[in-house]
Amino acid sequence: MLNKLLSFIFSLLSLTAIGQDDEAFFIKSIYDHTLTDGVCYPWLSDMCTSIGGRLSGSDNANDATDFVKDKLLSLSLDTVYKQPCMVPAWERGDVEIVKYVSDGEHLSATALGNSIGTGGKILKAEVIEVQSLDEVRQLGREKIEGKIVFYNRPMDPKQLTTFSAYGGAVDQRVFGATVAAEYGGVAALVRSMTLRLDDHPHTGVMSYKEEFAKVPGLAISTIDAEELSDRLARGPVQISIQNEAKVLPERESYNVIGEIKGSVFPDEIILVGGHLDSWDIGQGAHDDGAGCAHAMQVMHTLKALNYKPKRTIRCVLFMNEENGLGGGKEYAKVSNEKGEYHLAALESDAGGFTPRGFTCDGDTSTFKKFFTSLNQFEDILSPYNLYIKKGGGGADISPLKSQKGLLIGFRPDSQRYFDYHHTSIDRIEAVNQRELELGAAAITSLIYLIDQHGL
Amino acid sequence: MLNKLLSFIFSLLSLTAIGQDDEAFFIKSIYDHTLTDGVCYPWLSDMCTSIGGRLSGSDNANDATDFVKDKLLSLSLDTVYKQPCMVPAWERGDVEIVKYVSDGEHLSATALGNSIGTGGKILKAEVIEVQSLDEVRQLGREKIEGKIVFYNRPMDPKQLTTFSAYGGAVDQRVFGATVAAEYGGVAALVRSMTLRLDDHPHTGVMSYKEEFAKVPGLAISTIDAEELSDRLARGPVQISIQNEAKVLPERESYNVIGEIKGSVFPDEIILVGGHLDSWDIGQGAHDDGAGCAHAMQVMHTLKALNYKPKRTIRCVLFMNEENGLGGGKEYAKVSNEKGEYHLAALESDAGGFTPRGFTCDGDTSTFKKFFTSLNQFEDILSPYNLYIKKGGGGADISPLKSQKGLLIGFRPDSQRYFDYHHTSIDRIEAVNQRELELGAAAITSLIYLIDQHGL
C-alpha cells in the first residue's frame, strides 16, 4: 500500500514523497490539537452570546463579519479581508400574533423569511388544511379563496437522514404562500419543519412568484399544527394573524475571507467555508455558526501545526445563504473574473454534530480522478470512521461548479439538526464541544489530504 | 452476491432460502416500524419519570422490574418472568456535604457507590493532590497519612471514543479510596469521570480491599476539581466531609426475562439485553434505561412484524450491573445449570445515541464462523452506516462467555455519554427519541440477521 501510494504521489505531483504513515501521524496531530487546544467552541460561544442571530442585512450580521475577521486576523494568515456583496434585508417586526378567533388561544408562530406581514393589522379568516401544494391546486379557487391555507404534511420519520425528510416537506414552506395566493388564499400557515412534536416554530425562507399576490406566510409549531388539525376535524376554525414582517431595501454586507498561500501550487485553491448569516430568532449556533467555527478551526489548526500547504487554503465565511445566496454568488463572480481555479471547495452547513463523513459533487472527470485516489484517503481516515461518497456540496459553493473542481459537503450526524434548525433554541447550549471539535478535525484532515495529493 | 448468499444459507441451515433482497426489505420494515410506531421512547420516558433512579436493592429497582415485566407481558411473548437474584444494597443517605474549612464554600460532591460515609460526623483533614494511584504509592505513608487524597487526573480528550478516555482514568474512582487507606489516607476525593467542565459530580462504583481500612470515597465535579487544584497551588487546603453513605444487607431482586421460542432451533438462544438498575441520582435514562428500552423494542418490533424466529429470541433486563453484577452472574449460572446454549448475546449499555455499529467478542472458532458471514451482513446493513468489528460485549453478558457463543456490544456514538453518565442529569430530557429508535432498529436488524443465518 505504501509503495502504491508513493508511486501515485510521484506520478501526480513529482514531489518529495510523504508516506502514508507520516500522513496518518499528521492527521493524529490534527485531532490531538483540535481536541485539546481547539478554538472553535469558545469562538462560536463568543459569537453566539455576544452577537446572537445574524440575519443578512441586519447590523448583527455586519457585526459578525467584524467578529470573524478579527479572529482570522489573530491567526497570522497571509491574507484576511472582507469582500463586499449586496444582500436582501428583511425584518420580522415586533408584533407576531396568531390566535384562534373563537377562544383567543395563541399559536406558537413565526413569520417565514422574505414574507410580508399583515402591516400590523388583524387578518381574520377561516382555515383550510391541506397536505400539499398539489392539493391546493386540486381544490382550486372555489375552496381556497378567502381562506388561510394550513399546510400540515409532516416530515417523514422513515427517512434515515433528517435532511431527506426535510427535502420531502419543505416545498410547503417555500411555495405554500404563493400557491395559496394563486387560488385566492389570504395567508399560509405551515407546519414547522421538524420531526419533533414541540412548541418551537421553525422559520426559513419562502418565495413569491411575481405574477401572484403576496400574502403572509408563517410557520406554526408542530404541537399547534396537531391542535389546529384536531380543531378542524371538529368543525370550521377561524384564525387571526397580526404581524409586521416586511422587506427592506438591499444593503451592503460582506463575505469574510482568510487564506494561506500555497507553496507549490498557489493557483490551486482549496476552499473551506460555512455561512455567517443565520435567522434572526436564536443564535444560529448550529446553522451555521458551527460551519464558520469549523472553517476557522481548520486555519487555526494548520497554523498551530506550522503546516505549509502546497496549495492555497482559503477560509470563506459566506453572507446570505439563508435568503438569497448574495455572498456565494458574488464570491464566485469575483473568483471567475480573476480567473481563479478552485480545485476543491468544502462547505460545512449541516450543524456541529459528530462527523459521519463527506459527500462530493463535481464534474465527471474531476470525480473520476478523486475516486481513484479515494481508497487511500479512506484507509488513512478509517480510524475516524468517516465515509466519503457522492452527494451534495453546499449552497454557497454551488456557484463554483463551473470551475470544475470538487465540491464537498461535510456530513455530521443529522438526527438532532432539525430539533434546532431555524428556531429560537438554535443556541450555543445545543452544541456539544467535542462533537464540534471532531467535525473540525475531520474537515481539516480531508483538506490536508487533498492538499497533499491533489485530486 | 445473491447466489453466494443462497448457497451459504443452504449449506449452513438446509432451509428454505430467503434472498438478500428479502432481508433488505425486512430490515427496512424494522426501521420503518421503529421510527413510526416504536415504543422505546415512551416506555423509557414513563420509567424515568414514574420511577426514576433504580439502584440495586432499592424499592425503585424492584418497582422497575414490575414495570418492565408488565411491558413485556403486553407483547404476547411466549414466556415472561422474573428471575430472582441476590444483590448488594447501598444507601447514600440524606446528608452529603463537602466544603472548604477556610471559607465554608461547598463543593459539588457525591459519594461513590459501595463507599462508607463519615457516619454523619464531620471528617476534617488537609488535602493532598495526586494524579494517579501510583503517585500515592510513591509518596508513601509519610505524605499520605491523615490526609484526604484528591485524585485529579482528567480523562484524556485526545481519545476518540470517550469510553477509552474513561477507561484510562476510572482506576482513580474504583481504587482511589482503598489505595489512599493503604497509606493512611482518611478519605478520597475523585475528579468526576467526564470530559466536560461542569458542576455535576459523577458517582459510580468503588471497591475496598479487605486488608485495608475502609475510608469514604466521593466524586467532586470537574469545576470543583479545578478550583481545589488552584487552591492547593496557593497553599495548604483543609476540607470537611460529612455524609451518611452505608452498605446494607443483601436483598433479593430480579432479572426480567421475556422470550419468543425459536421455530426451528429453539435451543439456540439469541439474547438481547440491557441492565435495569442505575445509580440513585438522576433517572438512569442513558445508563441503562436506554439499553432496556432497546431490548424491549426488539421484541415489540419482531411481534409487530409478525416475525417467527428460527431461534429463541430472549430479552433479558439484568439487575445490578452497576455495583456487583448479581443479575448477570445468576443468569449465567441458571443458564449453565439448564444446559442452555447462547448462540449470541447482545448487550446495549452505552446509551441511547445514534448507532455507529457493534463490537464482537467470543471464542476463536465462533469468531471465525461469524466473520466469514460478516461481509453479507455488512452489505445488507450498509444503508444504515453500521460497522461490525472486534471488541467488547458487555458486563452482564460476560459470564456467558463459557458457552462459546458470540458476545456483542452495541456501539452508539460515544461523544455525549459521559456528559450524563452516573449524574443527576442522566434524565429522559437527555435522550433524543430518534437516536434511541435508530439504535433499537440497528439492534433488531442484527438480531434478525443472526436469527436467519446463524453464525
Q: Which is more confidently placed, B14 or A183?
A: A183
Q: Which residues of A346-380 are buried (b: 16+ CB within 10 A; e: fewer)?
A: bbbbbbbbbbbbbbbbbeeebbebbeebbebbeeb
Return the closest-CA partner of residue B228 out of B173, B219, B165.
B219
The Cβ of residue B101 has, within 10 Å, a number of other Cβ atoms equal to 15
**B385 has a chain A CB within 8 A of its CB:** yes
Q: Provide, as residue numbers in chain A, all residues whose Cβ is less than 8 Å from the Cβ of B434.
A: 157, 162, 195, 415-416
Res B36: pLDDT: 98
How many pairs of residues across A and B have Cβ atoms under 8 Å apart? 54
Residue B367 sits at the chain A interface (C-beta within 8 Å): no
pLDDT at B8: 39
The answer for B 145-174 residues in CB contact with A (under 8 A) is 157-158, 160, 162
Mean pLDDT, residues A81-86: 98
User: What is the predicted pLDDT for the residue at B362?
Assistant: 84
Which set of grid coordinates corresponds to residue B356?
455507529
Where do runs of H (alpha helix) occur along B305-385? 326-337, 364-381
> What pLDDT, in 10s, does the model give residues A304-355?
999 999 999 999 999 999 999 999 999 999 999 999 999 999 999 999 999 9
**pLDDT of A210-248, one tens digit each?**
999 999 999 999 999 999 999 999 999 999 999 999 999
**CB-CB neighbours of B121 under 10 Å:** 11
Q: Give the span between the Cα atoms of A204 and B420, in whole angstroms.
A: 33
Q: What is the dihedral of CA A334, A337, A341, A345, to 10 degrees?
A: 20
pTM: 0.94
Quote the mean pLDDT of chain A. Answer: 94
- Identify the pLDDT of residue B18: 55
Residue A10: pLDDT band with limits 50, 70, 90: very low
What ipTM was estimated for this complex?
Answer: 0.93
| Chain B positions in Cβ-Cβ contact with residue A383 (cut-off 8 Å) | 160
Position A172 scores a pLDDT of: 98
Question: pLDDT band for position A13 (50/70/90)?
Answer: very low
Give the residue from chain B lying closest to A161, CA to CA.
Answer: B384
Whether omega for the bond prior to residue A287 falls within 30 degrees of 0, making it cis, is: no
Q: Which residues of chain A neighbour B196 with C-beta distances below 8 Å?
A: 433
Would you say B177 and B187 are in contact if contact means Cβ atoms under 8 Å apart?
yes
Task: State the nearest Cα–Cα gap between B157 and chain A, in angstroms.
Answer: 6
Beta bridge mates, A33: none
DSSP H or E stretch at residue B410: strand B406-412
Q: Which residues of A touch B32 (CB under 8 A)?
A: 158
Residue B420 at interface with chain A, using a CB cutoff of 8 Å? no
Q: Compute mean pLDDT per 10 residues along chain B, 455 residues long, and list them.
A: 40 48 95 98 98 98 98 98 98 97 98 97 98 98 98 98 98 98 98 98 98 97 98 98 97 98 98 98 98 98 98 98 98 98 97 96 79 76 91 96 96 98 98 98 97 91
Angle between the N-to-C axes of helices B433-453 and B40-50, in degrees from 0 to 180, rounded to the nearest 10: 120
Locate B240 and state its grid cell: 470537611
Is residue A18 very low, low, confident or very high in pLDDT (cuts 50, 70, 90)? low
Task: Provide the 8-state DSSP code for B400.
Answer: G
User: Looking at residue A369, what is its pLDDT?
Assistant: 76
Phi, psi of B91 (to 5 degrees): -130, 135
Q: Spell B251-264 as b/e; 16+ CB within 10 A means b.
A: bebbbbbbbbebee
Distance linking the first and last C-alpha atoms of chain A: 18
What pLDDT was estimated at residue B14? 36
Identify whether the C-beta of residue A76 lies closer than 8 Å to the C-beta of residue A306: no
Q: pLDDT digits over A352-392, tens only? A: 999 999 999 987 777 777 777 777 787 888 899 999 999 99
**Which domains occur in chain B, in start order?**
2-89+249-453 (3.40.630.10), 93-244 (3.50.30.30)
pLDDT tens across A103-126, in order? 999 999 999 999 999 999 999 999
**CA gap A304, A30 in Å, rounded:** 9
Strand order in the sheet with B238-243: B96-100, B238-243, B123-130, B148-151, B187-191, B217-220, B109-111
pLDDT value of residue B363: 78
Strands A246-260 and A79-91: antiparallel
Mutate which: B36, B41, B158, vs A, most A CBs within 10 A: B158
B436: closest chain A residue by CA: A415
Q: Which cell is B34 given? A: 421503529
Q: Mean pLDDT throughout A191-201?
A: 98
As given in the structure block, the three cell numbers for residue A150 are: 394550513
Contact B453, B270 (CB under 8 A): no
